[in-house]
């Protein structure tokens, strides 16, 4: 085990409870925008869904795995990348898709489906890719994680708040519409505040080891956004649909990743470091890409009217 694999973060059980509650609050807010029609749209956009989920749960983890080989990362950093790459899409992907002029309805539907699918797909995918490299397989085996325990944890922190949010949306649609934006904004502020507080409490550790994750996260995130868009375009999706796929692949639910880190991998601070840095960086990269695409679309529209 290398030095970065043995990073110990200043994090206590009470903080894990706070993070779990925050994630449940985030997922409740996300579910306020979910309708049963979001799941029915699978039949309306079968090709887009199939391509999007293939990118999300096959190409992204494979990309992350290959990046850990190329960068020759330590075991815990590799596990952190693999965990991020097997998490479902983050809720801000819907906002970025809308800002970029993409298919927002497809984005919301993909987020809904991938969030429920992750109950099974995240533990299976993570275990599969971690077993493909001797160093990560040995480290994972030394922790003795029961996949069923992860499934139960995922179902508890994701499924229940999603069900409550969708129930409120169904029974009180006007109330859900009125409170969803404030809740989503508050969720983002709370999450960033939590990460900021965690970084402050572990600032020296962060500065000492950020070099092992900084460029890795930037590269994998850029590859995720690119692979999602380009694969969608190559397989025949429109530019609008491809933008939605790109953000679903490149914007991950790192809050969920951090809960799993501190619940099951608390002795591996490197994993949490990757998830925390990704949680900050994907907001920057997503906003930059959405702004670029929006300005490009505006320029094309202006030229067509000239």
- 89 strand-pairing partners: 252
Asked if residue 176 is part of any domain, the answer here is yes
Say what the pLDDT of residue 39 is.
64
Would 201 be classed as within a structural domain?
no
Would you list the DSSP string of 96-165?
Answer: HHHHTT--HHHHHHHHHHHHHHHHHHHHHHHHHHHTTSHHHHHHHHHHT--HHHHHHHHIIIIIHHHHHH
Count of domains observed in the chain: 1
pLDDT of res. 160: 80
DSSP state of 57: I
| 234 within a domain of the structure (yes/no) | yes
Domain assignment present for residue 197? The answer is no
Each residue of 5-43: pLDDT tens digit?
A: 555 555 565 666 777 777 777 778 777 776 666 666 667
* pLDDT attached to residue 224: 95
Query: What range defines the domain where residue 104 resides?
Result: 4-191+214-305
- Per-residue pLDDT of 180-222, as tens digits, reads 888 878 877 877 777 777 667 666 767 676 777 888 999 999 9
**β-bridge mates for residue 252, sequence order:** 89
pTM of the model: 0.80
Whichever domain contains 263, its CATH number is: 1.20.1530.20
List of the chain residues with pLDDT < 50: none
């Amino acid at each position: 085990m290398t030095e970065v694999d043995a990073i110990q973060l200043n994090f206590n059980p009470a903080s894990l409870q706070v993070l779990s509650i925050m994630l449940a609050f985030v997922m409740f807010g996300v579910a306020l925008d979910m309708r049963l029609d979001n799941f029915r749209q699978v039949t309306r956009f079968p090709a887009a869904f199939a391509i999007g989920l293939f990118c999300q749960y096959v190409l992204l983890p494979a990309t992350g795995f290959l990046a850990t080989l190329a960068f020759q990362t330590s075991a815990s950093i590799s596990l952190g990348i693999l965990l991020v790459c097997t998490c479902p899409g983050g809720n801000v992907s819907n906002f970025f898709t809308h800002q970029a002029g993409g298919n927002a309805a497809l984005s919301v539907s993909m987020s809904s489906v991938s969030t429920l699918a992750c109950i099974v797909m995240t533990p299976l995918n993570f275990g599969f890719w971690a077993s493909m490299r001797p160093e990560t397989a040995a480290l994972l085996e030394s922790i003795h994680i029961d996949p069923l325990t992860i499934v139960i944890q995922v179902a508890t922190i994701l499924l229940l708040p999603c069900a409550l949010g969708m129930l409120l949306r169904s029974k009180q649609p006007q109330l859900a519409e009125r409170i969803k934006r404030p809740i989503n904004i508050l969720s983002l502020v709370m999450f960033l505040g939590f990460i900021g507080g965690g970084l402050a409490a572990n600032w020296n550790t962060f500065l000492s080891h950020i070099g092992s994750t900084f460029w890795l996260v930037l590269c994998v995130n850029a590859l995720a956004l690119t692979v999602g868009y380009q694969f969608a375009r190559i397989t025949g999706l429109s530019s609008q649909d491809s933008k939605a796929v790109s953000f679903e692949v490149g914007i991950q639910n790192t809050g969920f990743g951090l809960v799993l880190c501190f619940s099951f991998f608390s002795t591996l601070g490197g994993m949490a470091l990757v998830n925390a840095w990704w949680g900050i960086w994907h907001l920057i990269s997503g906003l930059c890409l959405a702004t670029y695409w929006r300005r490009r679309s505006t320029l094309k529209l202006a030229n067509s009217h000239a």
